[in-house]
């Protein structure tokens, strides 16, 4: 019961992240600085597809993490899952990449108009390179960390591509980053907090990874 509850809660949370992102990318209707859409504008084919893509992507990350941290039969099973999930994730990346420019005319200009194409061309090229590296490493029994790094690179490049597509709108298609920004005094206050908190978060996260370093097996014990 606990395993199922943990799985279901994680899956729903991941799906909602993708749905929210998809709803934002497809555009939010704003009139006179107020929301002018309906209750279910967020519910669309694109947003639901983004939700499924995020869930699948997280599952792939989990499989690659197990390849990195485990050994034996569990690692072999994780490799098999990673191969299957990678095919689905790559297909979803292609679909979202082709679907996004069709949502708003402004997005199309970023990807298919010269000379802006020069700035965005490295993104799909790097994704393709990481895909090739992933397939080489996932088939190599000696490569444990490389598949996870490749998938993390896919996530980074996908969000980079989305940022390029919607720039400079933070609430597409009508509110840009300057219109939505807080006053400089509020930004300075947040910056002061970030300067203190971000190093602390990085420090304890790094320490946690150091404490639980190495492979996890049947004989692993922590004291």
Residues 4-46 have pLDDT tens digits of: 999 999 999 999 999 999 988 888 787 777 777 778 888 889 9
**Mean pLDDT over residues 104-129, rounded?**
78
**Mean pLDDT over residues 84-90, rounded?**
95
Residue with tokens 């297909």: 91
Indicate the pLDDT class of residue 104, thresholds 50, 70 and 90: confident
Q: What is the pTM of this model?
A: 0.84
- Per-residue pLDDT of 40-70, as tens digits, reads 888 889 999 999 999 999 999 999 999 999 9
Report whether 46 contacts 20 (CB < 8 A). Answer: no
Q: What DSSP assignment string belongs to 120-145?
A: HTHHHHHHHHHHHHHHHHHT-TT-SS
Token readout for 106 is: 């402004």
Instruction: State the pLDDT at residue 219.
Output: 62
The 8-class DSSP code of residue 81 comes to H
Cβ neighbors of 109 (< 8 A, separation 6 or more) are 116
Whether the per-residue pLDDT at 133 is higher than 80: the answer is yes
CA separation for the pair 118, 121 (Å, rounded): 5
**Burial track 100-131 (b if 16+ CB lie within 10 A, e otherwise):** bbebbebbeebbeeeeeeeebeebeebbeebb
Cis peptide before 173 (omega within 30 of 0): yes
Instruction: State the pLDDT at residue 40.
Output: 84
């Amino acid at each position: 019961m606990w395993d199922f509850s943990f799985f279901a809660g994680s899956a729903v949370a991941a799906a909602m992240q993708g749905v929210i992102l998809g709803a934002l990318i497809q555009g939010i209707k704003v009139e006179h600085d107020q929301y002018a859409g309906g209750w279910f504008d967020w519910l669309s084919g694109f947003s639901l597809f983004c939700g499924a893509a995020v869930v699948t992507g997280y599952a792939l990350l989990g499989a690659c993490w197990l390849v990195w941290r485990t050994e034996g039969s569990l690692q072999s099973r994780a490799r098999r899952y990673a191969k299957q999930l990678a095919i689905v994730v790559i297909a979803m990346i292609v679909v979202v990449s082709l679907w996004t420019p069709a949502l708003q005319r402004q997005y199309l200009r970023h990807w298919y108009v010269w000379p802006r194409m020069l700035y965005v061309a490295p993104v799909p090229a790097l994704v393709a390179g990481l895909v090739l590296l992933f397939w080489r490493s996932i088939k190599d029994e000696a490569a444990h960390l490389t598949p996870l790094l490749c998938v993390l690179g896919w996530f980074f490049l996908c969000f980079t591509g989305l940022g390029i597509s919607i720039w400079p709108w933070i609430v597409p298609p009508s509110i840009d980053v300057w219109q939505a920004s807080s006053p400089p005094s509020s930004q300075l206050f947040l910056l002061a907090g970030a300067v203190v908190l971000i190093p602390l978060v990085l420090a304890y996260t790094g320490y946690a990874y150091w404490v639980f370093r190495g492979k996890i097996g049947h004989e692993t014990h922590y004291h």
